[in-house]
A and B are shown apart, each in its own frame.
Chain A
Amino acid sequence: MALSRKDFLGLRDVTSDEINEILDTAELMKYILTTNNKKTPHLQGKSIVTLFYENSTRTRLSFELASKYMSASAANISASSSSVAKGESLIDTGRTIERMGVDVIIIRHPLSGAPHLLARNVSASVINAGDGMNEHPTQALLDMFTIREKKGGFRGLQVAIIGDILHSRVARSNIWGLSKMGAKIRVAGPSTLMAPGLEEIGVEVAESVEEAVEGADVVMALRLQKERQEQGLLPSMREYSNVFGLNKERISLARKDALIMHPGPINRGIEITSDIADSDNSTINEQVTNGVAVRMALLYLITRRREHKNVMYS
């Protein structure tokens, strides 16, 4: 078991076999997470750095814990406290980190394509933890893990993604990953926040949230950044929640057993009401646990790349 690629930059360029392999491995990792002893030797002797140019709580913490549970040496760099603030280029920063013996660099960056630039310039593995509006592949993998666990698979599933599609890397990664696995994607949101050309990549654009949610097996709400109003893309948060927010009434159009998902952090009362977010169908808390499992799986598989013999501990 191993991924043959050096880097993990997005779900657009991975195969369904690779996705399955990660999700299968994540099942084992989830089991480890539920045991009393959360220490495994999977990443012993490996050095992993998270390089974050944007704030993050859950993604960063889950990568860090995933590394530590598997006995890697893990360290963090954030943009505000490093040479980055002194104007060092991304390539120089990457090379410096690599020279300290680092095997995997996990990068989050506000600009699309930054992980690709880094990956081309270092021999360490690069994992994309979110780049601009482009991709957030590990978020989509944990979403997919959650869906697979609850629904048993992806083929024929109707997935509704609601909100700011234009700026959402979570939406993009889910679109690539889920459609690769056979799910159907329908999106809805304000037309000022719709990405152009979605139909050309196989996504159905619904005319209303109601239309998108109708009969869906999975309903995913995206976080709405408050700055979108200042940018003139929305008249008000109030109107957004009135027209595009997920509430009981809209969710009732979905299938009874539909999963309610959100990548977090939630703006309660804006993109989703509390009763829905906290309902039995909501997987929002479980997604967080699965995030650690999926990242453990990915780190394990990507660090096996150069080893002759694949040893699986269990």
Chain B
Amino acid sequence: MLCIHNGKIIDGISDSYHKGDILIDNGKIVEISCSDLSHKADRVIDAEGLWVMPGFVDAHCHLREPGFEYKEDIASGTKSAAAGGFTSIACMPNTEPAIDNAAVVNFIKMKATAEGKVKVYPIGAITKGRKGKELTEMKELLDAGVIALSDDGDPVSDSRIMRLALEYAGQWGIPLISHCEDKSLVGDGVMNEGTISTILGLKGITPAAEEVMVARDVILAKITKAPLHIAHVSTKGSVEIIRKAKEIGIAVTCETAPHYFSANEKWVEGYDTNTKVNPPLRTEEDVEAIKVGLQDGTIDIIATDHAPHHRDEKEVEYTLAASGISGFETAFALGYTNLVEPKIISMVELVKKMSTIPAKIFKIDGGTLEVGKAADITIASDKDEYIIDVEKFYSKGKNSPFHGKKVKGRIVYTIVDGRVVYDNGKII
């Protein structure tokens, strides 16, 4: 038996935390108490002064396997997730081959069981080969274990296909995740369009490229009454459209990623390719709107969009560089430093947005600490400041614009099914 002793417990149910002990046996939580349970256990984790939380649930990451193992694979990606405090992660289907049939779903689940440190939930493609033409066999994908459907970075541009996908998937209540980007408006843009793109002479991407598709998709969600989830919201306009949609009762949920509330377009100065991400880093005004959206609940969850790339794909001209940020190992620190410390949201709300609510939206086990449930638990410290060092990442992807930044919020332990998989900097 394992006891987590004297931590500040956030259970994902109540709106406050309480000090206490958690007892774990056989992979499950067997007791939660305000009194000392350590005498019942053979191993005790002293959590004095630490946050004890339901393991984080990531609704959006890229594990790159199969097909791009040189960027990341299920083994390295799940180690990185564990180091970031994630116990369940949902991986996007932009693999090669794409996750558009049950065989690939089974392959990923098998690999994750054999080599993974955390629980992996594949996201299936909406269309075959993510080509935007024909629907995948969605029921078969669902039965094989996908938790959502998405064409990821190649969003369904044909509005009729998107409507049909929502209708078809909607009959089983499978959420569609839409990466909202009108590719014709994106053109060959590489960063947010505005003064900074003018100064740097880089081609801009208008916020409208995101917003027109957010608007289209919430309208389609309205007529189909199907669950829609908008990926990585990055603009003020998108927040406003989604807020309005929720007000009139459309079944839409959405996420943002830590970089959209932690960095802005000015970071592109100097042509640092680690700032290249899709959608691009936006203006300070957008960053503020994202924070307000997180605060008022318009933005339901925080997802990492962990997108590891090989060094060679970033050490090139800005325009040629791959888009994406390696995000597992900085997500909690960025959330703590940029949202909790400045009192934009509380620690309890951060945990709900990183664990409880994503688990609920995607019907993933976890997100709460309850007796009888799997012991997926993350323990973190908010005490000391430290400097992010990509060389210490477990991910193969060292691509982070946050390298060298000072943050607070450190993962100390990650526990999956009662087993400690991450212990003070080390993967077990």
Contacts and interface: CB of A to CB of B under 8 A. Distances in A.
A112 B198 contact: no
Contact of A112 (B195, B316, B318): B318
Contact of A116 (B193, B271, B319): B271
Interface in B312-338: 312, 315-320
Interface in A286-302: none
B315 A91 contact: yes
A114 interface: yes
B342 interface: no
18 contacts: A12-B199, A89-B316, A111-B318, A113-B200, A113-B271, A113-B317, A117-B271, A117-B318, A132-B201, A132-B202, A132-B319, A133-B201, A133-B202, A134-B201, A134-B202, A196-B193, A196-B198, A196-B204
Interface residues of B, number: 21
A102 B193 CA distance: 38
B198 A197 contact: yes
Contacts of B270: 116
A312 interface: no
A169 B199 contact: no
A198 B198 contact: yes
A65 interface: no
A89 B312 contact: yes
B195 A133 contact: no
A122 B199 CA distance: 25
Contacts of B202: 112-113, 132-134
Interface string B286-319: 0000000000000000000000000010011111
Interface string A189-205: 00000011110110000
B368 to A, nearest CB: 46
Interface string A114-135: 1011000000000000011111
Nearest to B196: A197
A90 B316 contact: yes
Contacts of A198: 198
A127 B312 CA distance: 24
A167 to B, nearest CB: 9
Contacts of A12: 199
B178 interface: no
B222 interface: no
Listed from nearest, the 7 A-B pairs whose CB atoms lie closest are A197-B195, A134-B201, A113-B271, A133-B201, A195-B198, A112-B201, A111-B317
B153 interface: no
Interface string A74-103: 000000000000000111000000000000
A85 B197 CA distance: 29
Contacts of A42: none
B203 interface: yes
B191 to A, nearest CB: 10
B170 interface: no
A172 interface: yes
Given A196-B194, A196-B195, A197-B198, A117 B317 contact: yes
A113 B194 contact: no
Contact of A114 (B197, B198, B315, B317): B317
A114 B200 CA distance: 12
Contacts of A91: 315-316
A199 to B, nearest CB: 9
A109 interface: yes
A114 B198 CA distance: 16
A132 B190 CA distance: 13
Nearest to A173: B201
Contacts of B318: 111-113, 117
A113 B195 CA distance: 16
Nearest to A117: B317
Contacts of A131: 201
Contact of A169 (B194, B197, B201, B203): B201
Contacts of A197: 194-199
Nearest to A134: B201
A175 to B, nearest CB: 10
Contacts of A117: 271, 315-318
A114 B320 CA distance: 10
Contacts of B204: 196
Contacts of B196: 197
A172 B201 contact: yes
A114 B195 CA distance: 20
Nearest to A203: B198
Q: Identify which of B198, B201, B271, B318 gathers the most chain A CB atoms within 10 Å of its CB.
A: B201
A174 B319 CA distance: 23
Nearest to A113: B271
Contacts of B317: 90, 109, 111, 113-114, 117
B286 to A, nearest CB: 15
Contacts of A195: 197-198
Given A196-B195, A197-B194, A201-B195, A111 B319 contact: yes
Interface in B237-267: none
Nearest to B319: A111
Interface string A176-218: 0000000000000000000111101100000000000000000
A100 B102 CA distance: 55
Contacts of A112: 200-202, 271, 318-319
Given A113-B271, A133-B202, A196-B198, 14 more contacts: A89-B312, A89-B316, A90-B317, A91-B315, A111-B317, A112-B318, A113-B202, A132-B201, A132-B202, A133-B201, A196-B194, A196-B204, A197-B196, A198-B198
